[in-house]
């Protein structure tokens, strides 16, 4: 795998210089630019093929969190973010915008390298997923962001998925404790193969192979009864007709 293309963004010259020095010191990172404002960085992001942004949060004009929210709209095409900040109260905001990691200033090279290694591992998993042309091929796995990791979950292990306010709870056959991922059911619905999974309610996607019993308005998966809403009833009835 080639080196990850990175930029550093910080309005403090000393902090910016340190991050750039750390990037240049790391064999699997390549410094593609340094910027003293998020506005300048945004222009570069639109013209460069980048993998990682080392991004300060407290900056004038456009904060790091605001830039991250802009990049969220690009989905997986956007570079991953590692925040660098002196203020620990932004940790939750960093998690909500799907940052790889969060470095609290002052940090040393060991801490920097630990965060950079997470970005490398994430990129490698994405590369494997891309090589498999997921989801168009017969891949049997789903890649989910869980905390600061990209976790591979076998389709066959999934019983059903439950949408919460900002998260999705993935219920598994192999583990009584569900996995919690900061994503949406809509995003997962677009990734999952329709031959295996069906959205039956605004709050539920089910694994069709795990259905044990059905009625006109409900699905039974193990001990769990899942409602079928009017919005998805026609599609569900098409599936149900195959049972008759």
Backbone angles phi, psi at 101, to 5 degrees: -160, 180
* pLDDT score, position 1: 67
Model's pTM, two decimal places? 0.54
Domains of the chain: 4-131 (3.40.50.2300), 141-241 (2.40.50.1020)
The span from the CA of 92 to the CA of 81, in Å, is 14
Side by side, which strands form the sheet with 213-214?
213-214, 218-221, 224-227
* pLDDT score, position 116: 95
Asked if 160 contacts 171 with a C-beta cutoff of 8 angstroms, the reply is yes
| Nearest one of 86, 87, 91 to 14, comparing CA atoms | 86
Region 171-182: what's the mean pLDDT? 91
Greater confidence (142 vs 94) lies with: 142
Greater confidence (116 vs 65) lies with: 116
Query: How does the average pLDDT of the chain come out, rounded?
Result: 84
- Locate 159 and state its tokens: 């019983």
Greater confidence (237 vs 42) lies with: 42
> CA angle, 50 as apex, 81 and 95 as ends, to 5°?
15
CA 93 to chain centre: 14
Q: What is the CA radius of gyration of the chain?
A: 21
The span from the CA of 149 to the CA of 95, in Å, is 12
Region 125-129: what's the mean pLDDT? 68
Residue 204 predicted with pLDDT over 90: yes
For the ranges 13-27, 63-77, 152-166, the lowest mean pLDDT is seen at: 63-77
Region 180-203: what's the mean pLDDT? 88
The span from the CA of 13 to the CA of 157, in Å, is 49
| Nearest one of 11, 114, 151 to 102, comparing CA atoms | 114
- Locate 213 and state its tokens: 């019993």
DSSP string, the chain: -PPEEEEEE-SSHHHHHHHHHHHHHSTTEEEEEEESSHHHHHHHHTTS--SEEEEES--SSS-HHHHHHHHHTTGGGSPEEEEEES-GGGHHHHHHTT-SEEEESS--HHHHHHHHHHHHHHHHHHHHHHHTTTTTS---EEEEEETTEEEEEEGGGEEEEEE-SS-EEEEESS-SSPEEESS-HHHHHHHS-TTTEEEEETTEEEEGGG--EE-SSEEEETTEEEE--HHHHHHHHHHHHTT-
Region 22-49: what's the mean pLDDT? 92
* pLDDT score, position 94: 46
Region 13-20: what's the mean pLDDT? 96
């Amino acid at each position: 795998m080639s080196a990850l293309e990175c930029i550093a963004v910080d309005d403090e010259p000393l902090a910016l210089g340190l991050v750039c020095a750390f990037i240049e010191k790391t064999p699997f990172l390549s410094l593609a630019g340094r910027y003293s404002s998020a506005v300048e960085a945004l222009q570069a992001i639109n013209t460069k093929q980048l993998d990682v942004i080392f991004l300060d949060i407290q900056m004038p004009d456009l904060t790091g969190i605001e830039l991250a929210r802009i990049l969220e709209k690009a989905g997986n095409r956007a570079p991953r973010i590692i925040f660098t900040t002196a203020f620990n109260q932004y940790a939750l905001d960093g998690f909500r915008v799907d940052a790889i990691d969060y470095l609290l200033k002052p940090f040393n090279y060991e801490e920097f390298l630990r965060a950079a290694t997470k970005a490398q591992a994430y990129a490698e998993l994405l590369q494997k997923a891309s090589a498999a042309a997921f989801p168009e091929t017969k891949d049997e796995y789903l890649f989910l962001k869980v905390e600061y990791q990209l976790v591979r979950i076998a389709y066959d292990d999934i019983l059903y998925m439950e949408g919460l306010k900002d998260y999705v709870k993935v219920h598994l056959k192999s583990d009584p404790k569900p996995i919690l991922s900061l994503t949406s059911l809509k995003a997962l619905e677009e990734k999952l193969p329709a031959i295996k999974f069906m959205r039956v309610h605004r709050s539920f996607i089910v694994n069709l192979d795990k259905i044990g019993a059905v009625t006109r308005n409900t699905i039974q998966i193990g001990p769990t009864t899942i409602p079928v809403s009017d919005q998805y009833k026609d599609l569900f009835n098409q599936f149900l007709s195959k049972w008759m």
